[in-house]
Amino acid sequence: MLGYPTWWATLPMPVYSFIESYDFSGKTVVSFSSHGGTMYGDSVSDLSKRLPKSYLGLPFEFFYSGGRDLNARIDEWLKESGL
């Protein structure tokens, strides 16, 4: 699982540094991100470009404040992701 805030519609630079530091070949990466209104932006597609030899699972996004249905959304996402 890889969690990050969506910054300027993409992954934060420290996350880029992290994924460039490890070999994720053949690994499953399930991402989740918080945002202030841009949802995923380009973060999921940018992640897939950086991890071409990995399987990217179903991503999950949520607004910074969460919202009152956040727990239910997380439960559903985990179920759909097989986690």
Average pLDDT of the chain to the nearest whole number: 94
Tokens 């399930």 belong to 30
Q: Give the SS3 label for residue 13.
A: helix
pLDDT tops 90 at residue 37:
no
Tell me which architecture the domain covering 2-81 has in CATH: 3-Layer(aba) Sandwich (3.40)
CB contact at 8 A, 36 and 64: yes
The per-residue pLDDT for 35 is: 93
What is the C-alpha to C-alpha distance for residues 61 and 33, in angstroms, rounded to an integer? 5
pLDDT tops 90 at residue 38:
no
The per-residue pLDDT for 39 is: 87
The per-residue pLDDT for 19 is: 95
pLDDT tens-digit map of 65-81:
888 999 999 999 999 99
